[in-house]
Structure 1
Amino acid sequence: MLMFVAYQLWYTNLLAERTASGAAGSLRQTWEHAPADGSAAPPVTAFEPGQGFAILHIPKLDVKVPVAEGISKAKVLDRGMVGHYSEGALKTAMPADPQGNFAVAGHRNTHGEPFRYINRLVPGDQVVVETRDAYYTYEMTSSLAQTPPTNVSVIKPVPEGSGFTAPGRYLTLTTCTPEFTSTYRMIVWGRMTGERPRSEGPPPALTSP
């Protein structure tokens, strides 16, 4: 029993962190590899399930984690990555979309636990989504401590309970709660406050001390 607990609490985190770190490095290498003819790479708007396409930064929590398409445990979440709600009725916007809600899920415990401390985020805290083409900065605005997993209204284009009342460019972070259970979901919402081309370098949220 003690060995199983050690596996869950330590070894799954170690494996997931290694996998996620490798995925983040691979993403950056891909982004920085320009076409041989010097032309700009064409925009990419669709990704395969499990494919990484962004890096999520939460400076306050010292979190830097790859974002992959879909919320599959095997292909995404258990590999230490954050998953984008992207299928069927749970399909949400991408950061580059002119409006909508970019909603993602991550483990709170084990397997890298990238969202373990999102309960510590408060209004005004910043989160940055880095993609091949741009940095998108969001300011956290509100949260919901507990809601049933069936409450998918929290990831709607205008998420219910967030305080937002009109279409905009939003971010939703979701994870399980209480810790070490999957009984409920914890939600944190934010509003996009800045969009910066990668060619201009990281935004102040990532460079300020």
Structure 2
Amino acid sequence: MTTLAPSAPAEGRAARRRAAQEAAKRSRRRGGGRRRRRPRSGGPLVVASRLAGELFITLGLVMLLFVAYQLWYTNVLAERTANGAAGSLRKDWEQPAPDGAAAPPVTAFEPGQGFAILYIPKLDVKVPVAEGISKPKVLDKGMVGHYGEGALKTAMPADKQGNFAVAGHRNTHGEPFRFINRLVPGDPIVVETRDAYYTYEMTSALPQTPPSNVSVLKPVPQGSGFTSAGRYITLTTCTPEFTSTFRMIVWGRMIDERPRSQGAPPALTSP
């Protein structure tokens, strides 16, 4: 009987396939057992730089919020307080005396107490005047402060002669005196009190002087051009804008006084 046996080449191919399969299995086993390395996130310097960047971004945001508060929100708060104070003053002035008689004139006020309203029609300014120039009690509340204490004490509008001197912020906190540099000779400035309206006419200005120059507050203020006693007004504020390095001064001379019972002066009623 004749039998058929597999040829040699066929056996070689089968052996090679089995060898290849075994090699692939070994390769997969070796690869599956290896741990994959995670990508490195960086050294200490990289981490520190990232933290510094985040810190600077946070500080920048805080600074922006602070600037917005100073330049915008302090004005909102101060104007709200000042408007309330002006309304309260006028309400008090309208109240009759208990016995129906005219109330005696008041010549002295407590620090921080409002006693008048200042108008600058050209600048659309209407702001309460309080006693003293304290920042927290007066100026930062959007009011104008009267130099009425110690060596800087100045006259009141009702005084028959003297210099009624006041201070106000030029920037932030209501900034009532921001644009007083725009006043020119002849522009009216009006002070209203419980008893009367006092109208002044702007006469001159001093664009810049050191804070130590208190001679601008004298009864006859130096540098104003006035040479004899009279009834004057002095407005003071900081300059340049957003600094307190120097002071800007504006002076005026009283040209009219009328009782409140006669109504507002033409400076407040004329179009």
Map 1:94-133 onto structure 2 (within 5 A): 94-133=156-195
Alpha-carbon RMSD:
0.4
- Structure 1 residue 196 displacement after superposition: 0.5
Could you give the per-residue CA deviations for residues 27-48 of structure 1, whole angstroms, max 9, x where no partner exists? 0000000013211111111000
**Distance in 2 of aligned mates of 1:101 and 1:74:** 25
Partner in structure 1 of residue 84 of structure 2: 22
Q: Aligned equivalents of 2:216 and 2:256: distance in 1?
A: 23
Mapped pair 1:52 → 2:108 = no
Three-state SS of the structure 1 residue aligned to 2:133 is coil
| Alignment pair present for 1:153 and 2:251 | no
2:98 equivalent among 36, 40, 49: 36
**Aligned partner of residue 107 in structure 1, secondary structure:** coil
CA distances 1:131-161 after superposition (whole Å, capped 9, x unpaired): 0000000000000000000000001000000
Whole-Å Cα distance in 2 between the matches of residues 89 and 177 of structure 1? Answer: 23
Partner of 1:208: 270
Aligned residue identity for 2:160 = P
Q: Distance between the aligned counterparts of 1:186 and 1:122, measured in 2? A: 14
Show structure 2 runs of 5+ residues with no match: 1-62
| Structure with more of its chain in helix, by fraction | 2
Find runs of 4+ consecutive structure 1 residues off by over 3 angstroms. Answer: none
SS state at 2:250 partner = strand
Structure whose alpha-carbon radius of gyration is higher: 2
Partner SS state of residue 90, structure 2: helix
TM-score (norm 1): 0.99
Residue of structure 2 aligned with 1:138, choices 197, 200, 206: 200
2: distance between equivalents of 1:26 and 1:89? 30
Q: Distance in 1 between matches of 2:198 and 2:106?
A: 16
Deviation at 1:64, TM superposition (A): 0.1
Q: Structure 2 length as normaliser, TM-score? A: 0.77
Residue identity in the other structure for 2:270 = S
Counterpart AA for 2:190: V
Q: Which residue of 2 aligns with 1:12?
A: 74
Q: Which has the higher strand share?
A: 1
SS in 2 for 1:43: coil
* Superimposed CA distance per residue, residues 49-85 of structure 1 (whole angstroms, 9 cap, x where no aligned partner): 0000000000000000000000000000000000000
Alpha-carbon separation, structure 2, partners of 1:42 and 1:136:
18
Flag structure 1 segments of 5+ consecutive residues without an equivalent: none
1: CA distance, partners of 2:218 / 2:255: 19
State the identity as a percent. Answer: 85
Q: Is 1:199 aligned with 2:257?
A: no
- Which of 216, 219, 224 lines up with 1:162 in the alignment? 224
Letter in structure 1 aligned against 2:161: Q
